[in-house]
Every structure is written in structure tokens, then in C-alpha cells.
Amino acid sequence: MSRAGTCPRVNSRGVFGILLALLLAARALEVGAYSCHEVRAAFQMRQVGPLHRVPEIPGTDVDLLVCKHQGPSCCTRKMEESYQFAVKRETLHNIYVYSYELKHLIASHSDTFQDMFQYLLSFSQGHLSSLLEGTYTPLSHQALPHVNQLFASLSLYLRGANVSVEATVNQFFNNLFPLVYTRLINPGIVDSTAVDREMTDCLRMIRQDVNPFGPHPSVMAQELSEAISVGRQMGLFFEEGLEVLNATEHITLTKDCVKGLVKMVYCSHCRGLTLIKPCVGYCLNVMRGCLASISELDQPWRRYTNLLEQLTHAMVGHHSLELALLGMRGHVNEALLYAQLHGPLITATVDKVCGLTTRAPTGMQPTGPEVTTPSGTSPTQLPSAAPFKPLPEQWLGRVAHLRNSPPLKPSKNNKHSLRSLSRDFLMYLQRYKSFYAALPEMLCEGENVVDDATCWSGDEVVESYAGRVVGNGLHAQRQNPEVKVRTPNPSLAEVKERLENFNQETQEKFPNLGQFETWEELGSAETEGSTSDCDDEDGCQASGNGQDTTLHTKDSSEVGSIGPGLDGPKQNPAKPPSVRVIGNSPPSSWSGLCSLALPIAALCWQWTLF
């Protein structure tokens, strides 16, 4: 009886244990349906954080803040923190990757344009130095430092320094006038160092009042100011563009943005779905919400690129920087010729203003003992003191050659032309006009998303994203179902305002931008005076050391310095100037003869009145 009584109690306990074991086994099978092995592998491969934070098997009742869902999860709170740091790093890196090419384009072309500007300055400097050394030898030695100072100031201006082109040109001609007066118009006038300093200071101060060089300094200053200011503004444009891109790369992502990114990129990992990709529309909503303040730069950036394009057209078109720099030689030559042609009047005016005793220069000695040139000679006394002799016809031909010789051009073997460089730059720039509007789309293309069936919607795997896809900008984010955009990014709002002000200042400084010819209107042929397509036969080989030049004329042995007197003895250059010109020069033209004959006739008529 006792055995029969105890058997039922033992059997009931065994059944209960079996049932409990079966329940635990079923629960274990449910929880262990998938492991966290793939999650650990992805966590390690993407360098999200310490590997020990990833559990071996999914856990239940995990207290998550972002990747909340019912059921087991391979994520923990510590993993979510690591995911937030990782997603910020990855997003900023992706923005940097997409902006790198644009940043490199601007930075590299900024350096290339500056190198081209310096090359043109150096060539033009050698061009002008060759004129002084080869044609105006008596003053070349002392004038070359002023040439160097002129081009050094222009170089600083092109690099953005606070330098006035007009003041620089005026200073150059102020310093040049004493040399022209004492070496060309009145050679041998200085007898002592003290008088030399006194005379030099006086001549320098009265240059603009006496106007010994005619209109040529002001014309040269105007042309340089218009052309070089465009090149200078381009340099400032490149700097501004780089600052905008730097601000873009270092944006601060908001908490709502980071949560949205974690939900899009890593919440699927919590369920063991490491290979699923976000839906395209879902990704666009997240990225446009995160980059809403960046997208606000779209309109000012488009305006920026348009202005940069117009500046480039202006630099190689109407305000051709190359022609303006190469034309400096012609303006200086015309100014020196003007001073020599008006030498007697200049001498009389200077003698009256400065009160200096002068001597009659070589080649302009008095014709008789009764003619004197006392101190304080007035313009009315000038004809009796030194009658002006008309220029011989042969000398006029040489001067006409100097007036009408073609401008030198850099060799195509040295560097590309400014025009071709600008064309290449604009071709690349066209691709990035809509950079800030297209940035969210660029971040949501390729392997980052899928547009087919079975994509990640942020909460589950779906066949297609059912949410509304919003547009770019802060205003459109009010309807964004994925990311809440509360306020604009302060730093990017400041960048936008600064870019808009910069565009407005450029438009005010250059009101005629947009009226210049485009590449299609200009055509494929290079304009006259351009520096490309220059052969050796064109007379455009330039020596790089700035020491040699040879000016070829019909009879190079007859070309001397336009020295002491207009009918003075011919002189050969003391040493070869700095730029070599290969090829014969064109013959004298009637335009050059007429341009010289008019002022000479006016002088003769004026002296006849006296």
C-alpha cells in the first residue's frame, strides 16, 4: 500500500519538471533563432566601438532609446552610444569626400591662376626693362629699381593686398620724371649731389602738375586698374569659396539628425539585418533633414559660381589681363616720347617752378652768343633760348617703328595661355553649380541605398518606402516625417549671409558683369594679342633670366638711344636688354608718322606765336 501511495506523487513531480524543461527549451529556441555573430563582425569591421559591447546572443527587454522594437535585440545602450559617434563620423567623412573634388578644383586653380598672374607680371617686367635698357640707355640703370617696385606692388595687389593701382602707377612716373628730365631732356644738368637731391625732390613733387608724360600715365593706370582688379577679385573669390566649403565640412549635426541617422544606418543591425540597405526616399528625408541648413547655401552658391564665371570671361575678354600687362611697355614708351617731344616747354616750366639753374642740354645749344638761358626762364623766353629743330624724316621713321611694333607674347612652350586655363576651369565649374542642392542625393546614391524591393524603412523591412519625400531647405522640413528640424544652424546661417554680401559687393564693384562675351560668342580662335599659339617666327620668345634681348629692325645698327637731344648722336645700347624679340619688325606706318607730326606741328605753331 505504501508503495502504491507514493508512486503517484513521484510521477506528478516528473511530469511538472518535463513540462518546465519543454517550456524553457521552447523559449531558448525562440531567443536563439539568430545569433549576434554578424552584428559583431559588422561592429568590428566598421570600427564602431569596443567589441565587448556586442552580446553573443540577442537579449530581451533591452532598454534602448533609438532602436526600440519588440522582441530580442543584439543592441545595448552602450552600443547605441557607439553608433551615434560612428554615424556622425561617417556622415561628415562622406560630405568631405564629395566636397573634396570641388575644394581641390578651387584650391588648385587658385594656385594656377596666381602662378599665371606672376608669370605675366614677370614677363611684362622683362618686356618693359628691355625697352629701357635697349632704347633709353642713359636712364635705364637708375630706372630699373622703380620698374621692380612697380611690378612688386602690382603683384601684391593681385594677391589681395591693400594697394592702389592708380597710386602705384603715379608713383612710378613720379620717380621716373627726374631721370627723364636729367638724362634725356637735359643731360648733364646736375653738378653736385646736393643739387641732385633738391632737383629730384622738386621734379617728383611737381610731376602731375607739369604733366610731362601727357595722358599716358592716366590711361595706363586706368587699363591696369580695370584688368588687374578682375584678377584680384578672382583670387578673393577662390578664398571665399574655400571658406564656404570648410564650413560645410565642419558642420555640427543636431541630436535629432544623429538619431535619424542611427535609425537609418544601424537599427537594422539590432535585429541581425546587417546587409539590408535603406530605401531611397527614406534616406533622402533623413539627409535633407540633416543638411537643411547646408541646402540653404544653394542659391547664394549658384550666384557665386555665376559671378565667378562672368569674372573669368571679363578677365580674358574686355578686361584682358594679358593685354593690359603687355601694353605697359607701349604706354611707358609713348610717355617718354611725349616728354622728349615737349622737352623745351617742360624745361621752361620746371625752371620756373623749381627755381633751378639749368644748362642747355647737348644737341640743343644756343645758336648765338646773344641767346641765354638764365635761371627762372619762362615759357615765353623758351624759343629764343633753344630753338626747336623738327625731327628728321629718317628719325621719324624709327620712332614710328617704336610706336607700332607688335606687343611681345609669351611663348606657348612655357605655359598655357590665360584664356585656355580659364576655359578649362569653367568647364569643371559647371559641374558644381548645384552642389549644395545635390549633396543629399549624392549621399543617398550608390551602395548606401537600394531602390528595389526589400529595403529598410527605419522600422522594418518593406517593399517600398511609403512616407512623403520632402524637398531641400529649411522650409520644406516642416513636413519631414523622419527628422525634426527645429532651428537653422547658426554657423551656416552666418556663412550664407557672408556669401550673399560678398556676391553683392562684387556686383556693385563690377556692375557690367554679365555683359561680356561668352566662349560661344568669342569663338574658338584666339584674340589678337593673346599669348597662346605663338611660334618662334612670331617674335614672342622670352628669356627667363631677364638679361638678354635683341631688338631687330630693318637696320638695327642705326637704332640708338633717344638720348640727350632729339637730333643728338646715335648710340648703341650698352648691353643687351632682358627680353629677346626674334623676327623682323614691321615697317613704319603712316599712323605713327601722323601721330608724331601733330604734336610737332603744334609746338612749331606755338613758338611762332611767341
Note the pLDDT tens digit of each residue in 96-116: 999 998 999 999 999 999 999
pLDDT band at 517 (very low <50, low <70, confident <90, very high): low
What pLDDT was estimated at residue 491? Answer: 92
What pLDDT was estimated at residue 182? Answer: 87
Residue with the larger pLDDT of the pair 328 and 49 = 328
Q: Is the pLDDT of residue 319 over 50?
A: yes
Cβ-contact 210, 347 below 8 angstroms:
no
Mean pLDDT computed over 248-256: 91
What pLDDT was estimated at residue 96? Answer: 92
pLDDT band at 244 (very low <50, low <70, confident <90, very high): very high
Specify the DSSP element, H or E, that contains 462.
strand 461-462
Q: Which range among 60-64, 67-71, 142-146, 200-204 has the greatest average pLDDT?
A: 142-146
Q: Which residues contact 156 (CB under 8 A, 6 or more apart)?
A: 163
Cβ-contact 412, 537 below 8 angstroms:
no
What pLDDT was estimated at residue 59? Answer: 84
How far is Cα 130 from Cα 329, in angstroms, rounded to an integer? 9
Please list the residues that pair with 462 across neighbouring strands: 455
Per domain, the residue ranges of the chain are 79-105+254-315+429-512
What pLDDT was estimated at residue 451? Answer: 65
Q: Which range among 75-79, 561-565, 586-590 has the greatest average pLDDT?
A: 75-79
For residue 607, which of 348, 362, 335, 336 has the smallest C-alpha distance?
Answer: 348
Q: Which of 127-141, 154-168, 328-342, 453-467 comes out lowest in average pLDDT?
A: 453-467
Cβ-contact 331, 219 below 8 angstroms:
yes
Radius of gyration of the chain measured on its C-alpha atoms: 40
Q: Please, what is the angle between helix 435-443 and helix 77-135, to 10°?
A: 140
Q: Is the pLDDT of residue 550 over 60?
A: no
Mean pLDDT computed over 542-560: 35
Cβ-contact 140, 179 below 8 angstroms:
no
What pLDDT was estimated at residue 32? Answer: 44
pTM of the model: 0.67
Cβ-contact 82, 49 below 8 angstroms:
yes
What pLDDT was estimated at residue 149? Answer: 95
Cβ-contact 140, 133 below 8 angstroms:
yes
Please list the residues that pair with 450 across neighbouring strands: 279
| Residue labelled with grid coordinates 528595389 | 452
What pLDDT was estimated at residue 195? Answer: 54
- Residue 511 CB: number of other CB atoms within 10 A? 8
pLDDT band at 194 (very low <50, low <70, confident <90, very high): low
Mean pLDDT computed over 180-206: 77
Long-range contacts (CB closer than 8 Å, 24 or more residues apart) made by 202-208: 202/350, 202/353, 202/354, 202/356, 203/177, 203/178, 203/350, 203/354, 204/174, 204/175, 204/177, 204/178, 205/174, 206/350, 206/353, 206/354, 207/173, 207/174, 207/177, 208/170, 208/174
Percent of the chain at pLDDT > 90 equals 42
Mean pLDDT computed over 508-531: 55
577 φ, ψ (degrees, to nearest 5): -70, -170
E-assigned strands of 3-106?
A: none
Mean pLDDT computed over 478-488: 92
Nine-digit cell at 560?
A: 640708338
What does the DSSP 8-state code read for residue 182? I
Mean pLDDT computed over 495-523: 78
Query: In the predicted model, what is the mean pLDDT of the chain?
Result: 74
What pLDDT was estimated at residue 352? Answer: 86
Q: Is the pLDDT of residue 61 over 90?
A: no
Q: Which sign, positive or negative, has the C-alpha torsion 239, 245, 251, 256?
A: positive
Q: Which range among 155-159, 401-405, 450-454, 552-556 has the greatest average pLDDT?
A: 155-159
Q: Is the pLDDT of residue 538 over 90?
A: no
Give residue 134's Cα distance to chain centre.
Answer: 35
Q: How many CA atoms lie within 13 A of 195 on its CB side?
A: 10
Q: Is the pLDDT of residue 118 over 60?
A: yes
**Per-residue pLDDT tens for 429-438?**
888 999 999 9
What pLDDT was estimated at residue 29? Answer: 39
Specify the DSSP element, H or E, that contains 385.
helix 382-385
Mean pLDDT computed over 487-500: 94
Specify the DSSP element, H or E, that contains 461.
strand 461-462
pLDDT band at 514 (very low <50, low <70, confident <90, very high): low
Q: Is the pLDDT of residue 24 over 50?
A: no
Mean pLDDT computed over 599-607: 47
How far is Cα 321 from Cα 327, in angstroms, rounded to an integer? 10
Q: Is the pLDDT of residue 394 over 90?
A: no
For residue 336, which of 169, 597, 562, 604 has the smallest C-alpha distance?
Answer: 562
- Complete DSSP assignment for 268-332: TGGGT--S--BBHHHHHHHHHHHTHHHHTTHHHHHHHHHHHHHHHHHHHTTT-HHHHHHTHHHHH
Q: Is the pLDDT of residue 425 over 50?
A: yes
Residue with the larger pLDDT of the pair 318 and 293 = 293
Mean pLDDT computed over 404-431: 65
Specify the DSSP element, H or E, that contains 118.
helix 77-135
Residue with the larger pLDDT of the pair 558 and 311 = 311
Q: How many helices (H) and strands (E) does the chain have?
A: 21, 2
